[in-house]
Amino acid sequence: MTIISKRKTHITMAVLFVFLTFLDQLTKKIASMYLIGNDITIIPNILELHYLENKGAAWGLFQNSTWILGGFSLLILGVIFYAYFKLSYEKRFLFLRIIFCMLAAGALGNCIDRFWHHYVVDFIYVSAINFPVFNVADCYVTIAAVLLIYALIFRYKDDFEKED
């Protein structure tokens, strides 16, 4: 069992968290500046940039529920940070810490939009499958969720079997 430095780990993860959140906010700012009324086709019939102010959640659910969705995001952030700090400092859990940073950055990125603008800026549109418009924070959450499922099933499954 290799233990990693708590301080170094927290600094590295904090930098990652801040960077990911900043990148999300930057892309939304750029989308707000250049995409309103100006859709851009990246790959014809597959991928477009299309500005959208989403006042709800995924797939347009819970429209105009800013405070409820923002509060829920803050609750999720609390759960993520709790889980992050409860993790062992064994090196093998670093992957899980990165996943938690991605989840937290995605939650915070959209939470900032909800409280600041009262909507979330979405701008990535996969027209090939007519998927709802989304943003970088949504990508973080989706990728992190897939990685978390993978990690729990394959990478950390022995940890759960030991508890039985």
Full residue range of the structural domain in which residue 50 is found? 6-163
Which amino acid is present at 113? D
Catalytic residue among 39, 113, 138, 159: 138
Does 120 reside within a domain?
yes
Segment 59-76, tens digit of pLDDT: 566 666 677 878 888 999
Alpha-carbon dihedral 12, 97, 146, 2, rounded to 10 degrees:
110
Does 31 reside within a domain?
yes
Q: How many domains does the chain have?
A: 1
In terms of phi and psi (left: phi > 0; alpha: psi -120 to 50; beta: otherwise), the region of 45 is left
Does 50 reside within a domain?
yes
Q: Digits of tens for pLDDT over the chain (164 positions)? A: 567 788 899 999 999 999 999 999 999 999 999 999 999 999 999 999 999 999 876 656 666 667 787 888 899 999 999 999 999 888 889 999 999 999 999 999 999 999 999 999 999 999 999 999 999 999 999 999 999 999 999 988 777 666 55
Does 125 reside within a domain?
yes
Give the Cβ contact number of residue 12 at 10 Å.
16
Catalytic residue among 39, 122, 158, 159: 122
Catalytic site residue 159? no
Does 89 reside within a domain?
yes
Does 1 reside within a domain?
no
Global confidence as pTM: 0.88
Does 20 reside within a domain?
yes
Distances (CA, A) of 102 to 2, 3, 88: 24, 22, 18
Buried (b) or exposed (e) across 49-61, using 16+ Cβ within 10 A? bbbbebbebeeee
Segment 15-43, tens digit of pLDDT: 999 999 999 999 999 999 999 999 999 99
